[in-house]
Structure 1
Amino acid sequence: MSHQTIYNVSIALCFCILFTIVSSDSSEAMRDLVTDLPGQSGTMSIRHYAGYVPVNKTNGRAMFYWFFEAMSLPNQKPLVLWLNGGPGCSSVGYGATQEIGPFLVDNKGNSIKFNPYAWNKEANMLFLESPVGVGFSYSNTSSDYKELGDDFTARDTYAFIQKWLQRFPAYRENHFYIAGESYAGKYIPELAEIIFDKNNDNSSLHIKLKGILLGNPEISEAEDWEGWVDYAWSHAVISDETYGVIKRSCNFSSNTIWDVKECKDGVDEVLKQYHKIDQYSLYTPTCIGNSTLASSVDSTRFKTSLANSKMMPRIMGGYDPCLDDYTRVFYNRADVQKALHASDGIHLKNWNICNDDIFHNWADSKPSVLPIYKKLIAGGFRIWVYSGDTDGRAPVLGTRYCINKLELPIKTSWRPWYHEKQVSGWLQEYEGLTFATFKGAGHDVPSFKPSESLAFFSAFLNGVPPPLSL
């Protein structure tokens, strides 16, 4: 082969590579490219996209996303969908800008700061506001909001993934994982099951799902409730007398549990005590609001009782107790909404970190997703569960009770795991599931333990446990 021929082949090859890179983003995707996010300096040159993806054109349902490419080799690294729970809370507001995204809200919502422990160091990170009615996601059909529940959310999220991959076709062949926390402990297995079933039905729409990662998740109502009460008592939140009343009168497996007045009164007493502190983080201060940054719902005095909701109580919180307020300010700024393609910057959307109407009117909630765990384990998927051990809302005790119900054989016995020569928590490997704790972390674990969380996430993606010795 002549030098000229080699040169021509090289030029053609370079052109093909360039064309592949350029064509990996559709025209729709390029319209979603974020170029002028306020506060993003030149030192934070991360390619990211945000905007709406229609999931039901008939009813006018569209879901809002924010996507960050991996900091290096995005075409080779996995794609991870992150979901927050509530139900009714924003994954953009929590996950993206309070926990694991590259830009964290700072300075009372007036600016952002770079997160040195962002998870897009290890993967392409996709944050979704789900279901419609959360954050910027919406429906033009009012009756949709009356139907929101587990099944509705799973179907819409699956539709979103398929349509998002049409917009970003370069990522269809990447390994896919779903991660999240809290009520996403139900969203995630339910979505994984749909993907698993649909993959078997239609290979042309195959999603390369490899595993799920769940933080402080809700799993099974009976065990979650029991763990919630036991944790409150064992951490001196409630009296021996209140604990005794609950243990004597409450059968958390019963459908008529709240008809027992003594049980209901006992559980309401737990709520009463938790209203005085941050249930999501037992040992950190609550936010002291002021006239400009006071929450529309004060997290320390959120009024709920079993009389108007049978779901597990939700009280918002975080490591910086005022982060929810700062985030609300940030996403209601005209320049931020315009930069993220959420609005035109003139006709602004009213963004809230959680939609309490969704929480109180949730149409269907599976009592337990443990059967789905069993199905996914049998399907060979990687399942890791972790718990911040100072979270009273979805406490480590409830999670352990749920996992014990699976009766899985133990592969690696309970032992510490380490990060930077310190014990970061404890870990146990079962056949088909890994469970770990984060020592001293509240509900949103990455907000409390950012470096440890990134190391743990990397271990999860690689399918190897974090260091179990110094």
Structure 2
Amino acid sequence: MMESKSKMRISLIILVLIVQVHMLPFSQSKSIVKHLPGFLGDLPFTLETGYVGVGKEEKVELFYYFVESQRNPHQDPLLLYLTGGPGTSAILPLFYQIGPLNFEYTNATRSDVKLEVNPYSWTKTANIIFIDLPVGTGFSYAKRWESSKKNSDSLVVTHAYEFIRKWLMDHPTFLNNPLYITGISYMGLIIPRVVSNIYDGIERGVRPELKIKGFLIVNPHTDKFIDFNSRTEFAYRAGLIEDELYEPAKEHCGGKYIYVDPNNTLCLDSLRPIKECLDRINVVYILDPLCNRQDPKQTCRESIYSYSNIWANMKSVRQALNIREGTVNQFQVSNANISSLFGRPDTIYYSHDIFSSLAYYKKLVTKNCHALIINGDHDMTFPYMGTKQWINSLKLGVQSPWKPWFIRTQVAGYEKTYSEAKFSLKYATIKGAGHSVAIYKPEESMVIVETWLASHNSSTS
């Protein structure tokens, strides 16, 4: 009898050890970061970093930064933020745009990168998860080579949905926070599908039930024809091309300036001088000079991104962020093998297989869902002209007509609100902003988001 009990104890101990070994990677997949190289003293906010395994057999490990709201983290909205590109690291929005810290340029050198508090961080009133997505972006990695090759827009949708479900299961205290899927640029093709998947999951009874309230997209890429085609009309309205160039193109091309029929020589001929006028325009912000990032003598907004490459490749930074050794040898703020350019074919690493997200907007119109779409009015990447066109195609009712919105009595931009049953969509422009609006107009970016979130949530300070 004693021998039987002894064997049972040994079996139980072995079982516990096996369970602990299997749980170990998951239990060690997140950590609180209290200090960051380049910032003096303790971080004045709660920062967590970690990994979430997704995909078949969790062969893909997605790295994230989670910043708790600096107001009321257990009641304030939870935002999952998807960075554009695709292939641009979450470090970009976290340290250049909407996060609680910024790279400080005035007193920094390329060998001594400094961080400072961002007074216009969205995390003042919201919890935000910044994620390196898709795999191959930032510090996210695949456990097997084939998992890093087989990537696409459609797979990003699947991974984003799986990520937020698993993250919330591991962070149950945030399960009841209002959830918003947010992001910028190329993620305009991705986000509506992720949100639609969440609503579909709720209707199927998938647990845990996500408290989805809506989505927010800055300068969204929504439809590959509408967005790129609208650049010509935008350039005309912005005074970059004259009537004598625009009118013949409009007539001969019939308003279709891309994917032109090669037999339509009149259209092609009329587009050549327009192309010459726009070739040296900085599309992300038409008032800035065109930047050559490879020229060490040139200083421009885009060249400052090199700070993040230097900082994120420092051993002390990787240790502070708890990056798994041997997973990403060389950090790059943007993965050129993944990123999208107009007319660029797919690569062996990535398939840009979503042409438009408009069908999913039409699905979401039937849900209890709130959307905020923001355009910088000096962005020619995905101009406001195209955004207005696809919004109009939804044929929503107008709840509030076009009007200015203000900061301290000054016009900050313009807004218009649409609604259909329980669905609402606010469209807002930010005056004088380019593609990444928070870089050009940080306060305006923060205020419009705070105001919109507050209008749909009852969080108290």
TM range (shorter): 0.7 to 0.9
Q: Kindly provide the amino acid, as one letter, of the partner of residue 100 in structure 1.
A: I
- Partners of 1:195 and 1:244 lie apart in 2 by 45
What is the distance in 2 between the residues matched to 1:241 and 1:146?
47
Answer whether contact 1:225 1:252 (CA < 8 A) is retained: no
- Partner of 1:356 in structure 2? 336
Matched residue type, 2:329? K
8 Å contact kept, 2:293–2:302:
no
1:340 alignment partner in structure 2 = 321
TM-score (norm 1): 0.80
Q: State whether residues 60 and 139 of structure 1, in contact with CA within 8 Å, keep that contact through their aligned partners in structure 2.
A: yes
3-state SS of 1:424 partner: strand
Tell me, yes or no, if structure 1 residue 69 matches structure 2 residue 72: no
**Distance (whole Å) between structure 1 residues aligned to residue 456 and residue 71 of structure 2:** 21
Q: Which residue of the partner structure matches residue 468 of structure 1?
A: none
Deviation (angstroms), 1:415: 0.8
Cα RMSD of the aligned pairs, angstroms, is 3.0
Matches within 5 A, 1:379-390: 379-390=367-378
1:455 corresponds, among 443, 447, 453, to 447
SS in 1 for 2:189: helix
Shift of 1:30: 8.1
**Equivalent in the alignment of 2:10:** none
Residue 122 of structure 2 is aligned with which of 119, 124, 136? 119
In the aligned structure 1, how far is the partner of 2:273 from the partner of 2:315? Answer: 43
Which residue pairs with 1:131 in the alignment?
Answer: 134
Given that 1:182 and 1:217 are in contact with CA atoms closer than 8 Å, whether structure 2 keeps it comes out as: yes
Among candidates 277, 283, 301, match of residue 287 of structure 2: 283
Alignment of 1:185-334 (within 5 A): 185-238=188-241, 243-244=246-247, 246-248=249-251, 250=253, 257=260, 259=262, 262=265, 273-287=277-291, 289=293, 320-334=301-315
- Aligned residue for 2:177, secondary structure, equals coil
Q: Secondary structure at the match of 1:32?
A: strand
Preserved CA contact (<8 Å) 1:251 1:257: no
Partner of 2:145: 142
Answer yes or no: is the 8 Å Cα contact 2:240–2:278 preserved in 1. yes
- Contiguous gaps of at least 5 residues in structure 1: 1-25, 296-318, 466-470
2:363 aligned residue: 375
Offset from partner CA, 1:285-341 (integer Å, 9 cap, x none): 34465776989xxxxxxxxxxxxxxxxxxxxxxx83423222222222222122112
- More displaced stretch, 331-340 vs 209-218: 331-340
SS in 2 for 1:190: helix
Cα contact 2:35–2:41 (8 A) shared by 1: no
The amino acid that maps onto 1:53 is V
Give the drift of 1:463.
Answer: 2.2
Shift in Å, 1:239: 5.5
Residue deviations 1:377-436 (CA, integer Å, cap 9, x gap): 210200111110010111111111111111111111111011121100111111121111
Indicate how the Cα distance of structure 1 residues 29 and 293 shifts in structure 2: closer, same or farther if over 3 A, else same.
Answer: farther
Residue of structure 2 in register with 1:302 after alignment? none
TM-score (norm 2): 0.81
CA shift in 2, pair 1:275/1:323, >3 Å = farther
Residue 93 of structure 1, CA deviation: 2.6
Q: Match for 2:104: what amino acid?
A: D
After superposition, the Cα gap between the structure-2 partners of 1:250 and 1:170, relative to the gap in structure 1 and judged at 3 Å, is: farther
Residue aligning to 2:20: none
- Alignment check: 8 A CA contact 1:29 1:168 kept: no
CA contact (8 A) 1:337 1:348 kept: no
Task: Find the residue that maps to 1:155 and give its secondary structure.
Answer: helix
Q: 1:98: which partner in 2?
A: 96
- Percent identity of the aligned residues? 30
Decide which of 152, 157, 161 is 1:158's aligned counterpart: 161
- SS of 2:401's equivalent in the other structure is strand
Give the distance between the partners of 1:199 and 1:347, measured in 2 at CA.
Answer: 35
- Residue 58 of structure 1 and its aligned partner are, at CA, apart by 3.1
Give how far 1:268 is off: 7.6
CA distance in 2, matches of 1:73, 1:27: 27
Q: How far apart are residue 82 of structure 1 and its match?
A: 0.9
- Name the structure 2 match of 1:435: 427
Q: Please identify the structure whose Cα radius of gyration is greater.
A: 2
3-state secondary structure, aligned to 1:339:
helix
Q: 1:398 aligns to what?
A: 386
**Corresponding letter in the other structure for 1:78:** P
Report how many aligned residue pairs link the two structures. 415
Corresponding position of 2:85:
86
Alignment gaps of 5+ in structure 2: 1-24
Structure 1 pair 256/381, CA: closer, same or farther in 2 (3 Å)? same
Q: Secondary structure at the match of 1:45?
A: coil
Q: Which moved more, 1:72-81 or 1:356-365?
A: 356-365
Match of 1:54 in 2: 53
